[in-house]
Every structure is written in C-alpha cells, then in structure tokens.
Chains A and B, each alone.
Chain A
Amino acid sequence: MNVELLSRLQFALTIGFHFLFPPITIGLAWLLVAVEYNAWRKATLPDGQAWDRAGRFFGKILGLTFAVGVATGIPMEFQFGTNWSRYSKFVGDIFGAPLAAEGVLAFFLESGFLGLYLFGRDRVAKKWHVVSILMVALGSTLSAFWILVANSWMQTPAGFRVFQGRAELTSFTEAVFNPSMWPRFTHTLSACLVCGSFVMLAISAWLVRRNRGDLVALKTLRLSLAVGLVSSILVAFPSGHEHARQVARTQPEKFAAIEGLYTTQTSAPLAIFGYPTDRPPDLKARIEIPGMLSWLAFGDLHAKVRGINEFPEEDRPPLWMTFVSFHNMVILGLYFQFVTLLACVQWYRGKLPTGRRLLTVLVWSAPLPLIACQFGWVTAEVGRQPWIVYGLMRSADAFSSTLTLGEVWASLVMFGLIYVLLGALYLFLLFRKVRHGPGDAGRPLPAVEVSQKGLVTA
C-alpha cells in the first residue's frame, strides 16, 4: 500500500464508474435526434404522437444518466492535479490543451443545450427542440473526441520534445492527430452507439414483452435494433480491427500482452483461448489458429510479430489482466453482433414482438456493452503500464509526492462509498421510470404536502 497504488486504484475506480454513463448518454442522444426528428416531421400524423411520447420517455432517462455522468465527471478533471501532480507538471504543456478545448468546445455545448432539451420541450418551437438534442449529441461526441485526443497522446505521444524537464509542444496538429487517435476515437464512438442502443433496446423489449401492442416501444425497438446491429458491426469492423493493427504497429509489447504472444515469431498464431501466466510468461491450455495473428496484424501470413520475450521485464504490462480483458471484450463484441442479427431476422419474420424468450435475452443484455467498455479500457490502460505516457514517463514517477497515505485512503473510501450509493440510486430510479412506461409520460408529478403533524396529504 503506497500513494502510487492507491492513487491508481482511485483513478481506475472513478474513471471506470464515470465511464458507465457517457457511453449511454452519447448513444442515447444520437438515437433521440432520430426520435425527436420523427416527432417533429410526423407531428400531424398518427405516428407523431408515439414518437413524441418516446422522446419524453427516453429524454427523462437521458437526463437522469447525464446528471450522474456530470457528477462523476467533475472529479476526473480535478484528479490529474490532485493525485498526479508530477504528471501534470511534466505533460501539462501538451495534455492540458485538449482538456481545456473539451471544456470550451464541448461541455458548454452539451450542458447548455441539454437544459433547453429537457426543460424547453413545451416552451420552444419543435424545430429548435430538435436542434437542441442535436447539439447535445454533437457536444457529447466532441467531448469524447477531445478526451480521446488527450488519452491517445498518452499511448502514442507525438508533436513534442523534452526540454528543460518537461514535454513541450512542437506541433499541435501532430499532437492531436497522433498515430492512435483516429482508431481509438472511431472505436469508442461506435462502442457508445452500441451502449446507447442496447439500453434503448432492452427497455423497449421489456415494454413490448409486457404489452405487445405498445406503439411507442415498438418504434424504439426497431430504431435501437437497427442502430445496435450496425454499430455492433462497426465497433469490430473496421474500427476494432484497425485499432488492434495500430497497437501492433505502435505499442508492440501491449500487443504481445493482449494477444498472449510470448515469443517473437513469423507466422504468429492467433490464440482464441488460453490462460496466461506471468512468471514465466506462458499461455496455458491454448487453442490457436496458425499464422492468423500475423495476417490480422500486418496483412501478411509470414509477418514477424514481436513477442513479450523481446522486452525487459520492467517494461512489460501485466499479462493476465490485459489478455483476459481483451478477449472477454471481443467475445462480448461477437455476442452483440449475433444477438442483434438474430433479433433483426425475427423482426423481419414478424416474430419479434411475440418472441418472449428473445425479448428477455435482449432485456438482460443491457449491461453487457457497458461491461465490454470496461474490459476495453482495462486492456488499453493496464496494457500501457508501466508507462503513464508510453515510452516517456512511468506511472511510478507521476503521482503527487506531497500526498500522505491517509489523505488518499480518505478520498478513496469517500469515492467508494458515494459511488456505490449513486449506482444503486441510479438503478432504482431507472427501473422505476421504465416500469412507469412511456404511456404515463403525460401526467405531471403529484405534489406531496406534509402537514404540521407529519400527515401526508396528496
């Protein structure tokens, strides 16, 4: 137990918990653009009412999720300074700028227009209401862009030089468009669409299972299924694939760890199952496809892929955690494609609204994309260790040296407790809202009066 370990644990906990919510809100926001656009264009048609109710219902869910996302996001902005002050001093010249840009160009946009979207539904013309949700979607996507610019720079730093004890910017465009940025941004954005659509899909499936004639839920079921299928494919091909190829090119020891390749070889095999051990590095109980890894990573069956044995022990990431996380993420990714494809087929056969078993599967699938995201992030960030900036600065040299163990324990416990509470409250309120259903969206919340004797009169 030291300040470094506790600070790493705290960062992992806070960012992991935070990252349960933006993927839902980003995905849901784009879906709601489609919903509200339909509500606007079809206002005079019988369809329009259903789209309007869908917007009100899922809009409330967006609001709830966004609030928890914002609440858990503020600690992230602070945490670079509080727990990683040496890191901040060293990379601030480059790393600070995307964070500030995220504030100026993205946070204001999404937070400002969210207020208009949530509260202005009955106050502004529908056209402007549609614009407001578009701005929320755009703002949250821009926010993802800038934070991924910053995080990607930690993976493949570019556009800088080390001068007078700090990393100094030499080219803003090179730093922003660093080698890993585009694959990671497209991959994460696709993943957000998967998360948002699976949440809408699960809720719609639950409502349809309860009442197969639920007009609102049938519409959102179809929308989220279509987006879910397309994004489940995109997150793997091409974005996931391109991302893996980029890691093979730019971070060979991370690639070796996630793929379980422990000796450098040409015609490297793809391990589709195995149990990695750290000392000595070995992949037990392996099932492999010969040559596949070379082909997938470099497009050549005979290409040389570097194994973990090439790298000194102090430069290797934790092998078990990166391999297991990566493979679980991929398995889940395949599942997403399979289940959405199956549901689409059933939809075309007209059998989905009555298919209770498949609907139930869709309901229970809701948290899976979020879990896949967590696995993906563990792969990316644990796979980068021992570096905090790959090849430039180690995590061990980056934490705040002025902090005491007591201070970090206090904050870690605080976050642990309030996040467990927040998570429970979020789920409680979400399930309540879903049970209410979109049909009830028209009733205002009843006021509750408490008389002096503590008697409740509604």
Chain B
Amino acid sequence: MSWLSHEMLATIWFVLVFVLLIGYAVLDGFDLGVGALHLLARGDHERRVSMNSIGPVWDGNEVWLLTGGGALFAAFPPVYAAVFSGFYLALMLLLLALIARAVAMEFRSKVESPRWRRVWDVAFSAGSLLAAVLFGVAFGNIVRGIPINADGDFAGTFLGLLNPYSVSVGVFCLLVFLLHGAIYLAMKSDGDLHRRTARLIKPLYFTVLGMWVGVTLFTAVAAPRTFSRAFDQPLTYLLLPLLVGSLLYLPKAACACKPRYGRALIASGTLIATLMSLAAVGMFPELVPSSLGPFFSLHIHEHSSSTRTLLTMLVIAGIGMPLVIAYTAIIYRAFRGKVVLTEESY
C-alpha cells in the first residue's frame, strides 16, 4: 500500500473525523432541536410524544459524538489533547447538559407526580438547548482559531472562548437545530402538537436564513484566512450550490400545501452538512488554527498518528461504518411514521 502515504492517510482521517462530527450534527441535531422545543408541547400527552419521537434513536445518534471524539484521539492525539484540555470548563458544562438530557428522558414518566415530570421536562429542554449552543461555540472557536502556543497547548481562558464570533455561531447552531428538530417533530407528531410545530417552521427558517447571511459575513471578518482559503478549493464550488439548493428547497418541502417533511429533513440535514463541510474545507490542512500565528496551528501532517495506526484505523472504520449505516437505516425504518405511545414508551 505504498500509494497510501502518511500524508494521504492524514488527509483521509481529517475527512473521516469531520464525517463523524457532521454525522453527529445531522442526527443528534434534531434530537437536540426537539429537546430545545420540548417546553412548547402542552400537556402530558404532547410532552410524551415529543420525547418518544426521538426515544428509540437518540442514544445511537449520540454515539457519533463518542466515535468522532475517539477517532480524533486515535488519529490526531495532540489535537485531541490540546482542544479537550483547553476547552475544559466548556466541556464540563457540555457533559452536564448531555447527562441531563439523557437521564431526563429515562426518568420523566416513571413517576405520576406532575411536579416530578415538570422538573425533568425542564432538564431535558435546558440540557438540549445548552448542548446545542455549546457545540456552536466550540465550532466557532475552532474555525476562528484559538491561542495554541509553541508547545501545542491551549494558552487561553474560558472567557476568551465566549468571544462575539463564537457566541454568534453558538446561537446560529441552536437555531439551525431548532429548525431541524421542528421539521422532525412535525413529521413524527399529529394533532395539535403537529399543527403548532409545523407553524414554527417558517419563522425558524427565515431566522436561520438571516443569521446564515450574518454569520457568513462575520466569518469573513473573524476568520479571513479560513474564509478565503475555502474559495481556493474546488470542493467549495460543489458545496455552495448544495447549500443554497437546500436553503431554497427547504421551505418548498416543509411549507407546501401537502408538506413533505421527510424531504425537508434531508434539506435541513444537507444544510448542516454543507455548512460544516465548508468550514472543514477552509480549515484544511489545519485541524485547529492558532490565533497566536499560523506557525503554531495544529496541522494534520505534524500532529497525526503513525502511518501504521492510521492504516489500521482505516481498516476498522472500513469494516465497521458500512455495517453501522446498514443497521441504523434498518432500525430507523422500524420506527417510521407517527409516534405511537405504548407500554414501552418513555
């Protein structure tokens, strides 16, 4: 396999790490969106429908994050180490949010008390919302660049992570997930909950559209190198039409007389995927740009694992991921259609 040089493998793994993180955003994105919308559901029945719409699939969706983190660790250990220790407090908050989201669903309906149920409804919603914002803030910081010093360590502060650009990306991420989640929930619910959720799609869409323009402009200002570098890459000229296309198609699918929510969900998923891909294309070959100067950025070629490790991992991924896609598709198919509450439901 001499044509698979270390450089090639590092590039492949740059792509694969992003594929895993994009997979996470597209799948758990609607879970977090549904969660963030949860308190708009009224009454016990609607709230149970809301939770059970993602009940069978959220755990599998969350695994994409774990695998993405594991892949980052395996392929780019110094990057994993620098980012995770650097974003320490933010990550601890994220863990708190994800733990709250997970246990809230499991615990909520197990006791008949309305107060008990309300506490877990709030925990579920707050956890989902906080996680969505934190992911956006983290992503914004990575795109913009963080202070990485000569030792490859994070040299900044927690408050430094809350800069205007990253916070705006955090809010944008939340809104995109809300839109994505609303489409999913409209698809899975009926009756009054469906009607109210469906009505949210249009205003959410226009907010996302407006913010997209704003954040794009802001990116040109806050991360000029990454922004301009994207336009040097041929892939961008494939991704941009895809992005615009999904933005144009989404309202047609979701807000038509006979809405096609499945297709609208594919559009919102494509939106998420293309946005993240464009960022990745602009950042390549720096996995984490350093705001202290491009010399300190974490380039994939100098901060990746050995050829042997990258190759072994590729074989494992090559065997494992097609299986994952196959059985995940089968499992989703088993739960197609509107939510039906049974004895087994949350």
Contact = CB atoms under 8 A, between A and B. Distances in A.
Given A71-B98, A93-B306, A100 B56 contact: no
B213 interface: no
Contacts of B257: none
A120 B319 CA distance: 27
Interface in A297-331: none
B67 to A, nearest CB: 3
B320 to A, nearest CB: 4
A444 B65 CA distance: 33
A166 to B, nearest CB: 8
Query: For chain B, which range describes its interface: under 10, 10 to 19, 20 to 34, or 35 or more residues?
Result: 35 or more
B56 A172 contact: no
A2 to B, nearest CB: 16
Contacts of A429: 107, 110-111
Q: Which of B58, B66, B320, B327 gathers most chain A CB within 10 Å? A: B66
Specify the main secondary structure of chain B where it touches its partner. helix
B293 to A, nearest CB: 18
B234 interface: no
Contacts of A401: 153
Interface in A28-78: 56, 63-64, 67-68, 70-72, 74-75, 77-78
A257 B335 CA distance: 54
Interface string A424-440: 01000100110000000
Interface in A104-131: 104-105, 107-109, 111-116, 118-124
Interface residues of A, number: 82
A56 B343 contact: yes
A277 interface: no
B97 to A, nearest CB: 11
B331 A115 contact: yes
B119 to A, nearest CB: 11
B117 interface: yes
B88 interface: yes
Interface stretch (A208-216, A220-228, A365-373, A447-455): A447-455
A83 interface: yes
A169 B308 contact: yes
B155 to A, nearest CB: 8
A411 interface: yes
A24 to B, nearest CB: 15
B276 interface: no
Interface in B47-72: 48, 52, 55-60, 62-63, 65-67, 69-71
Given A103-B63, A120-B56, A122-B342, A92 B77 contact: yes
Interface string B248-270: 00000000000000000000000
A89 B92 CA distance: 21
Contacts of A92: 73-74, 77-78, 80-81, 305
A74 B98 contact: yes
Interface string B305-343: 110110011001101110010011001001100000111
A448 B152 CA distance: 55
B91 A64 contact: no
B73 A108 contact: no
B95 interface: yes
Contacts of A101: 70, 313, 316, 320
Q: Across the A-B interface, give the 10 residue pairs with the lowest CB-CB distance, nearest first.
A: A92-B77, A81-B84, A96-B74, A103-B67, A104-B320, A115-B56, A85-B81, A100-B70, A67-B106, A96-B73
5 contacts: A71-B103, A85-B84, A407-B89, A411-B92, A446-B112
Interface of A: 56, 63-64, 67-68, 70-72, 74-75, 77-78, 80-83, 85-86, 88-89, 91-97, 99-105, 107-109, 111-116, 118-124, 135, 166, 168-170, 172, 400-403, 407, 410-411, 414, 418, 422, 425, 429, 432-433, 441-450, 456, 458
